[in-house]
Amino acid sequence: MKHKATRTVVGFGIAVLLPSILVLGAMRVGSVELVGVFMMLPAVILASLIVTSNSEATSP
């Protein structure tokens, strides 16, 4: 049970950290790249959510 909760926390941490890092990096580069990052955001969040749900399903 505890391991399952830890995986969920790690998954949500990744889901929050990755987009924020991408946005910060894009803000330094330029607005054109920022548009690309915002287009990638939903895909990154979906991927991390799928990974967390899969790890929860496989772990006993």
pLDDT at 21: 76
Buried b (16+ CB within 10 A) or exposed e, 28-47: eeeeeebeebeeeeeeebee
> Tens of pLDDT along 24-47?
776 676 666 667 777 777 887 788
pLDDT at 6: 76
